[in-house]
């Protein structure tokens, strides 16, 4: 059996590997590391959780052990699709370079440009970045890629899903043609294959598992249910999820719950928390500090349920995840493989449970076609659905003009066909008219009384050429408007 000591790695790297508790490389490590040490391009195809990160970090560290980086010119470059995956790669470099003096920088969003610029200005041996932030630094003139000797593209198929392929192609063109390229992907879509044919030179192809296969250590189960009403489907699915978790009992030590939409992640997390489950959300709209805090809590066991979007589907090395729940059926079949790959890692057993509705049939067919096997059906637990609003669902904030603030309630008029007393009997008697003592007062000036409607109409006809109280400076357009009103009222009189 091959051991790390047989792979011609630097002695200081081997010491770090031994300190981390590893002796035997995984199949992809055993096949990729020798070719990478020879300086050849490597195309690695392996499902998630097979140790791809060490397949490129260990040979990179060995090749970079001698030498020094210049300011703003990194010696190697690692591209990752998400901040979490990039941070995890950086942790691996910290682990395996503990006995060397190599420097690194992590360029991801959510972190100050100034701090990252300071690291780049000092010169770094290893630059780990997401494509967008890397190009931001380059366009600001803070970074040069002409000194890159080794370039790694990790999770290339995820790059394709996230729309990073144009950025990847541009970054390839900014690096030297003589660079060594290590390219890793779980699947080989036609677009990925086109890039490898364009930018890799006679690569060594390393494939340790059939493309898009699921690990044998993962027990898969599909639970189908039909919602009672369309507008209750979301609430009923949340109730079903809670019942499934209760059914798993103590076997479910921790779990990642995947949703397709960020807003659903927040609602499901809040619903679980409201019903007594220890849950927290993680998705791309959260601040990086909050995402890091939530992941750390899940890793150390202080958080039991992590409700996530596909930002957490790849690259997160959390080996002790007992369960994965697909609250939503993934719309891309490849995402199913990566989601359930968060459990059953490092030889451990895991369980993946997917909730499905009749609307998910087309996605289910695509997934089963991809993995070349049907997903075993499980018995859906019986759930008593409550029609009352879910305590965990977001409620819309009350408007300032809500019914509570509209003053006294106004009663609706009675229906015309209602059986009631005659209208005359129901109508209240008119109040007696009060006599005005000033009515017969001889001192009263009748000229000040309010003119009647007919009087006002006649006055407007006579005074249409002048406006009382505005003087001789009245603009012509106002006079024309008054004349138009008078003409309309004249027409009304004729019609009457």
Looking at residue 359, which CATH number applies to its domain? 3.40.50.300
414, two tokens: 């009675």
Residue 161 belongs to a domain: yes
CB-based burial of residue 12 (10 Å sphere; 0-12 exposed, 13-18 middle, 19+ buried)?
Answer: middle
- Return the SS3 of 180: strand
Per-position b or e across 367-395, b if 16+ CB within 10 A of its CB: beebbeeebeebebeeeeeeeeebebeee
User: Cα-atom radius of gyration of the chain, to the nearest Å?
Assistant: 37
Shared domain for 201 and 230, answered yes or no, is no
Task: Determine contact, residues 182/204, Cβ cutoff 8 Å.
Answer: no
**Domain span holding position 61:** 4-207
Shared domain for 360 and 261, answered yes or no, is yes
Shared domain for 203 and 235, answered yes or no, is no
**Confidence at residue 352, expressed as pLDDT on a 0 to 100 scale:** 95
Residues of the chain under the 70 pLDDT cut: 1, 48-49, 209-212, 312-317, 346, 384-496
Shared domain for 137 and 265, answered yes or no, is no
Shared domain for 72 and 104, answered yes or no, is yes
Residue 289 belongs to a domain: yes
**Confidence at residue 489, expressed as pLDDT on a 0 to 100 scale:** 60
* End position of a domain, from candidates 207, 226, 244: 207
Residue 47 belongs to a domain: yes
Shared domain for 35 and 179, answered yes or no, is yes
Task: Determine contact, residues 284/108, Cβ cutoff 8 Å.
Answer: no
Within 10 Å of residue 444's Cβ, how many Cβ atoms? 12
Q: How far apart are CA 313 and CA 319, in angstroms?
A: 13
Shared domain for 226 and 282, answered yes or no, is yes
> Among 91, 96, 97, 123, which residue's Cα sits nearest to residue 108?
91
> Among 487, 211, 491, which residue's Cα sits nearest to residue 371?
211
Taking the CA atoms of 390, 393, 397 and 399 in sequence, report the sign of the dihedral they define. Answer: negative
Report residue 469: phi and psi, to 5°. Answer: 85, 0
Shared domain for 91 and 145, answered yes or no, is yes
Q: How far apart are CA 175 and CA 149, in angstroms?
A: 8
* End position of a domain, from candidates 172, 207, 242: 207
pLDDT in tens, 315-372: 566 778 999 999 999 988 878 988 888 888 767 889 999 999 999 999 999 999 988 8
Residue 359 belongs to a domain: yes
* End position of a domain, from candidates 207, 228, 263: 207
Q: How far apart are CA 6 and CA 393, in angstroms?
A: 56
Within its chain, how far is the Cα of 270 from the centroid? Answer: 16
């Amino acid at each position: 059996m091959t051991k790390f000591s047989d792979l011609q790695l630097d002695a200081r790297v081997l010491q770090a590997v031994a300190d981390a508790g590893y002796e035997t490389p995984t199949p992809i490590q055993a096949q990729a590391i020798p070719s990478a040490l020879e300086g050849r391009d490597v195309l690695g195809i392996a499902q998630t959780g097979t140790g791809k990160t060490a397949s490129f970090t260990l040979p990179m560290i060995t090749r970079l052990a001698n030498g020094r980086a210049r300011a703003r010119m990194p010696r190697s470059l690692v591209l990752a699709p998400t901040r979490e995956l990039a941070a995890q790669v950086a942790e691996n470099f910290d682990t395996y370079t503990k006995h060397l003096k190599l420097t690194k920088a992590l360029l991801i969003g959510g972190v100050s440009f100034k701090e990252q610029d300071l690291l780049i200005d000092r010169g770094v041996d290893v630059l780990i970045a997401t494509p967008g932030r890397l190009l931001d630094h380059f366009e600001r003139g803070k970074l040069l890629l002409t000194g890159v000797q080794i370039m790694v593209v990790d999770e290339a198929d995820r790059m394709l899903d996230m729309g990073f392929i144009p950025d990847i192609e541009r970054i390839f063109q900014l690096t030297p043609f003589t660079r060594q390229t290590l390219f890793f992907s779980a699947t080989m879509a036609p677009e990925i294959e086109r890039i490898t044919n364009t930018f890799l030179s006679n690569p060594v192809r390393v494939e340790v598992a059939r493309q898009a296969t699921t690990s044998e250590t993962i027990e898969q189960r599909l639970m189908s249910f039909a919602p009672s009403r369309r507008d209750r489907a979301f609430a009923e699915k949340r109730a079903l999820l809670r019942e499934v978790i209760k059914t798993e009992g103590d076997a479910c030590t921790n779990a990642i719950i995947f949703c397709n939409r960020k807003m659903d992640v927040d609602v499901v997390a809040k619903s679980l928390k409201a019903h007594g489950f220890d849950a927290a959300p993680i998705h791309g709209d959260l601040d990086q500090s909050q995402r890091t805090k939530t992941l750390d809590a899940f890793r150390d066991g202080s958080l039991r349920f992590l409700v996530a979007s596909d930002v957490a589907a790849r690259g997160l090395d959390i080996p002790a995840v007992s369960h994965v729940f697909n609250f939503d059926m993934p719309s891309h079949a490849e995402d199913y493989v990566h989601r359930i790959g968060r459990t059953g890692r490092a030889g451990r057993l895991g369980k993946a449970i997917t909730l499905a509705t009749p609307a998910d049939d087309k996605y289910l067919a695509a997934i089963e076609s991809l993995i070349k096997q049907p997903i075993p059906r499980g018995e859906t637990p019986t759930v008593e659905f409550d029609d009352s609003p879910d305590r965990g669902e977001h409620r819309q904030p009350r408007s300032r003009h809500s019914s509570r603030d509209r003053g006294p309630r106004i009663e609706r008029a009675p229906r015309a066909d209602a059986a009631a007393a005659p209208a005359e009997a129901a109508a209240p008697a008119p109040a007696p008219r009060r006599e005005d003592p000033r009515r017969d007062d001889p001192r009263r000036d009748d000229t000040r009384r309010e003119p009647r409607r007919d009087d006002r109409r006649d006055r407007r006809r006579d005074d249409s050429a002048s406006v009382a109280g505005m003087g001789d400076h009245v603009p012509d357009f106002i006079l024309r408007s008054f004349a138009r009103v008078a003409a309309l009222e004249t027409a009304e009189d004729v019609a009457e």
